[in-house]
Copies of this chain bind each other. A is one copy, B any other.
Amino acid sequence: MASEKEMRNIGEAHPMKSGDGLYSYSNNSYLQRGVMNAAKQIVSEAIVENLDILKFSSSTTVRVADLGCSIGPNTFFAVQNILEAIELKCQNQGLDSQIPEFQVFFNDHTSNDFNTLFSSLPPNRRYHAAGVPGSFYSRLFPNRSLHIVHSSFAIQWLSRVPKKVVDRSSHAWNKGRIYYPSAADEVVEAYSAQCAEDMARFLQARAQEIADGGLMILIFAARPDEIPHSQLVANIMHDMLGCCLMDMAKKGIVSEEKVDMFNLPLYHMSDKELEAAVERNGCFSIERMESLPPISSTLQSLVSTRHKAQAISFHVRAAMEDLIKAHFGEEILDQLFDSYSKKLEQEYSLFESAGTSALNLCAVLKRKTMNC
């Protein structure tokens, strides 16, 4: 068991692009929002069905945390939805006069732009807001202090790139690629093992922090168990970015060695992998696990393939820009994402044929009433 200090150092930061510019996360997170709208109903129902309000009657404060909240606005919509569901539940139970006070904790890495987050907080919010800096792969909150934990499109980020995939002496060295879908089995296994290790830490920390009967709602880009890694839309998308980087290496714009040493700290867990992690942990029951439409469904409203390709490119850039900048330098960004847009447009048919293999999952976990 790692000490608390060691645990704090776990988890590299992968901040979304800050501020509110063209490539900022706040202006390029509307794709996630389409999926979150679909999740809204599931989250509401899960709270109404599973949260035991009477258990909280001795405490007048319900504490909610959004893990990996980034800088908004999606986190504010998610929180609002959760609070409305709790209020609805109170009303359903005839507890109108006992609607609790809410304290909402917005968590992300220390390097997240909390200044922007705080300045965007809804002015007429009905909750006390707090920001909590740190990796959710470590402890962030006091024992048994949270009632609802929410996390949307965050747990697919690993705490780090698996060591083996950037180790030349390893069979899992991922030469010439930045991701695992079309790589050797050893590379996939290294990614999968890192995810299992991270989920063990994540669930262990949350089991300590969530009160008995409390809920955890996890929304994440997943892989249907029967679909091979190489056919998952999100994976194809990220593999294409790797191809663009290799093209730039062939043209001498970046060194091939640098591309070899760069890997994305992302992994798309399957529903089975989540179930296995929850079972190993032992402190949670899975109350619901539902598919959400893929992010690409949000693109249907865009008319041309070019616009769709550009929307994906902006979306990936908002999420990846800081990572790529840190490794390759700022100067390659525009060229890389220009060629990425073009590649996405040229090969857009790949996404359409892979349509059903795209998947987002919404899992609702409940903290068991037991010490573990």
Residues of A bordering B, CB below 8 Å: 4-5, 8-9, 60-61, 101-103, 105, 110-111, 113-115, 118-119, 121, 123-124, 126, 128-134, 139-145
Contact = CB atoms under 8 A, between A and B. Distances in A.
A347 to B, nearest CB: 39
Given A123-B5, A130-B131, A142 B61 contact: yes
Count chain B CB atoms within 10 A of each CB in A110, A115, A144 and give the residue with the most: A115
Count chain B CB atoms within 10 A of each CB in A101, A113, A140 and give the residue with the most: A101
Contacts of A130: 105, 130-132
A259 to B, nearest CB: 30
B141 A103 contact: yes
A115 B128 CA distance: 19
A110 to B, nearest CB: 5
A18 to B, nearest CB: 9
Nearest to A3: B124
Given A141-B103, A143-B60, A133 B124 contact: no
A273 B59 CA distance: 36
A59 to B, nearest CB: 9
Contacts of A60: 142-144
Contact of A133 (B101, B103, B118, B126): B118
A133 B121 contact: yes
A118 B128 contact: no
Contacts of A140: 128
Nearest to A4: B126
A128 B141 contact: yes
Contact of A119 (B61, B110, B131): B110
A131 B103 contact: no
Nearest to A118: B133
Nearest to A100: B142
A8 B123 contact: yes
Contacts of A101: 142-143
Contacts of A102: 142
A336 to B, nearest CB: 27
A143 B121 CA distance: 21
A66 to B, nearest CB: 13
Contacts of A61: 142-143, 145
Given A103-B142, A121-B110, A123-B8, A132 B129 contact: yes
Nearest to A108: B118
Contacts of A110: 118-119, 121
Count chain B CB atoms within 10 A of each CB in A8, A131, A140, A141 and give the residue with the most: A131
A118 B121 CA distance: 18
Nearest to A119: B110
Contacts of A139: 128
A142 B115 contact: no
Nearest to A62: B142
A105 B124 CA distance: 22
Nearest to A208: B101
